[in-house]
Amino acid sequence: MPRLAGADINVGRAFTARQPAVAYLLALASAALYGAADFLGGLASRRTNTIAIVVASQAAGLLMLLLILPLLPGTTPSGADVLWGGVAGLAGGVGVGLLYRALAVGRMAVVAPTTAVCAVMIPVLAGVVFFGERLARQTVFGIAFAIVAIVLVSRQHSVASVNRAARNSVLPPGVGLALASGVAIGLFFLALARTNAAAGMWPLVAARVVSVTLFGIMGVVSSRPLRMPAPVVRIAVAAGVVDMMANALYLAATRYGQLSVVVTLSSLYPASTVVLARIVLGERLNVWQAAGIVCALLAVVLIVSTG
């Protein structure tokens, strides 16, 4: 019996030691899936109108969430939690719509990191301005990297194109939409942060219901058809399901590892989008834009790693 007890203790210690490794693997998997979801959504948006893609993907994600909800521990959301979830759905729906449109008209390898750094910066700046939080030194460096990244990824491929963009006072295709998308997604994070842990995933349910309803109404008002060819529907549904799978992996990772590290790893999703765009679409970047992507990833790591 003593030997068995000692063996049980050793097994328990081994499992505890492996927990961080499991968490980090789950977080990296969630980042890969987040980036894949963005890639699929952007790819589908290139084949039909963005509103239809958002409705289909968000509805698929909502269905996925409702299917896994009974498997999670019971929760007790309050009215405020549901309300903040609805606000998050409004901001997140707009953010996703702008992101998919940006991915459709611009270079995915440029749009994804631009959106990511903006989405990370918004909660950080709001904490400083409205909640009196103090920025750590590495956060300040992260914001600086983010600004540099946005400038670099906005560089055109040739001097002529740079001069033309300067004369027209416009950003490269998709970059303006990516900036706006990042702001909206950052507000989505802020709204969800106002909910209580006891609410579980119900605020996310409220968010998805609001976003699906919002874009459904927009589709009706704008007279844009929500019907899509079957291949495009499959891509849109896959985007929504993959996105929800990423959410599930992220939640699982937070239960086994340090939150700051998990969030940092999960926020590296633009790398997945960039790789898929390079492999599937053959997108090529100039030296400045490649450097900008590196700065964007460094910015995400520095800003989020402070917790």
Question: Is residue 10 in some structural domain?
Answer: no
Contacts of 61 (CB under 8 A, 6+ apart): 208, 240, 241, 243, 244
Question: Is residue 259 in some structural domain?
Answer: yes
pLDDT for 239 equals: 93
pLDDT for 108 equals: 81
Tally the domains of the chain.
Answer: 1
The answer to whether 104 touches 46, Cβ cutoff 8 Å, is yes
pLDDT for 133 equals: 63
The answer to whether 301 touches 268, Cβ cutoff 8 Å, is yes
Query: Along the 307 residues of the chain, how does pLDDT read in single tens digits?
Result: 444 444 444 434 444 445 667 877 887 888 889 889 989 988 888 888 888 888 899 899 999 889 888 887 778 888 998 999 899 889 988 988 898 889 888 888 788 888 888 877 777 777 777 766 676 787 778 777 877 876 677 665 544 444 454 445 456 778 889 999 989 988 887 787 777 778 778 888 998 899 899 888 888 888 777 788 889 999 999 999 998 888 777 766 766 766 556 666 677 777 788 778 888 888 777 788 788 888 877 877 776 665 5
Q: pTM of the full predicted structure?
A: 0.75
- Report DSSP state, residue 74: P
Provide the CB-side half-sphere exposure for 282 (13 A, CA): 0
Q: What is the pLDDT of residues 238-266, one digit of tens each?
A: 999 998 888 777 766 766 766 556 666 67
Distance from C-alpha of 123 to C-alpha of 109, rounded to nearest angstrom: 23
Distance from C-alpha of 194 to C-alpha of 12, rounded to nearest angstrom: 36
Question: Is residue 4 in some structural domain?
Answer: no
Question: Is residue 240 in some structural domain?
Answer: yes
pLDDT for 264 equals: 63
Q: What is the DSSP string of 83-104?
A: HHHHHHHHHHHHHHHHHHHHHH
The answer to whether 133 touches 127, Cβ cutoff 8 Å, is yes
Question: Is residue 3 in some structural domain?
Answer: no
Residue 173 phi/psi, 5-degree rounding, is: -55, 130
Distance from C-alpha of 118 to C-alpha of 98, rounded to nearest angstrom: 13
Provide the CB-side half-sphere exposure for 24 (13 A, CA): 8
Distance from C-alpha of 58 to C-alpha of 63, rounded to nearest angstrom: 9
The answer to whether 118 touches 56, Cβ cutoff 8 Å, is no
Question: Is residue 213 in some structural domain?
Answer: yes
Residue 77 phi/psi, 5-degree rounding, is: -70, 145
* Domain enclosing residue 182, as ranges: 26-304
The answer to whether 172 touches 165, Cβ cutoff 8 Å, is yes
User: What helix, strand, coil percent values describe the chain, rounded to 5?
Assistant: 80, 0, 20
Distance from C-alpha of 92 to C-alpha of 183, rounded to nearest angstrom: 10
Question: Is residue 11 in some structural domain?
Answer: no
Question: Is residue 21 in some structural domain?
Answer: no
